[in-house]
């Protein structure tokens, strides 16, 4: 059974009455730039990169592969070596590479821990040798929980590791 409105309920719509006067003092009492309501800013248009990412997420596996084939074909036509997704370029000095961005590589963590065991050092002792505060626990977190390190610590750690691995 449908609900009926109450007998004393009368829906009212708010009608806008025309404005015959102006608070800004317009002589004609019309809408002017000064007494208009603020206009909302226009919505920002998405960048081509955002459009591409949205299209990528909505594309199927076949469409994604077709796009990657197209990009690699264009790269070959220009004479460049195409990069496949997931394929990383390995630098010539891969042995000197100790971190991926701000995170230590697992092989680097093993190398640091082996030097620490050989010299009977704690992570706070290593930080003191690097020239940082011994109370700085960032190296401890990086070794135990794979947390990020400051780039200055990574640079100092690379030199320290190379020195102590050469010396034995």
Q: What is the pLDDT of residue 165?
A: 82
Q: What does the alpha-carbon distance between residue 112 and residue 161 come to, in Å, rounded to a whole number?
A: 7
Q: What is the pLDDT of residue 133?
A: 92
- What is the reported pTM? 0.45
Q: What is the pLDDT of residue 128?
A: 93
**Conformational region of residue 146, where left means phi above 0, alpha means psi within -120 to 50, and beta covers everything else:** left
H or E stretch at 144: helix 138-145
Q: What is the pLDDT of residue 10?
A: 61
Q: How many residues does the chain have?
A: 168
In CATH, 98-167 is 3.30.450 = no
pLDDT tens, the chain, 168 aa long: 566 666 666 666 666 655 555 555 555 555 555 555 555 667 788 888 888 888 888 888 888 888 888 888 888 787 776 555 554 454 555 556 788 888 998 889 999 999 999 999 999 999 999 999 989 999 999 999 989 999 999 999 999 998 988 886
Cβ atoms within 10 Å of 116's Cβ, excluding its own:
17
Nearest to 140 by CA among 96, 104, 99: 104
Q: What is the pLDDT of residue 13?
A: 66
């Amino acid at each position: 059974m449908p609900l009926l409105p109450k007998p004393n309920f009368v829906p009212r719509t708010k009608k806008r009455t025309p404005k015959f006067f102006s608070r800004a003092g317009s002589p004609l009492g019309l809408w002017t730039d000064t007494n208009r309501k603020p206009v909302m800013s226009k919505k920002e248009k998405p960048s081509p990169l955002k459009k591409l990412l949205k299209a990528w997420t909505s594309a199927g596996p076949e469409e994604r592969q077709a796009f990657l084939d197209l990009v690699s074909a264009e790269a070959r036509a220009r004479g460049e070596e195409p990069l496949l997704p997931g394929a990383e370029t390995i630098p010539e000095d891969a042995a000197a590479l100790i971190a991926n961005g701000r995170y230590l590589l697992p092989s680097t963590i093993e190398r640091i821990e082996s030097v620490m065991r050989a010299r009977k050092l704690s992570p706070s002792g290593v930080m003191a040798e690097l020239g940082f505060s011994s109370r700085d626990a960032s190296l401890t977190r990086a070794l135990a929980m794979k947390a990020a390190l400051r780039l200055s610590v990574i640079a100092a750690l690379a030199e320290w590791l190379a020195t102590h691995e050469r010396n034995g």
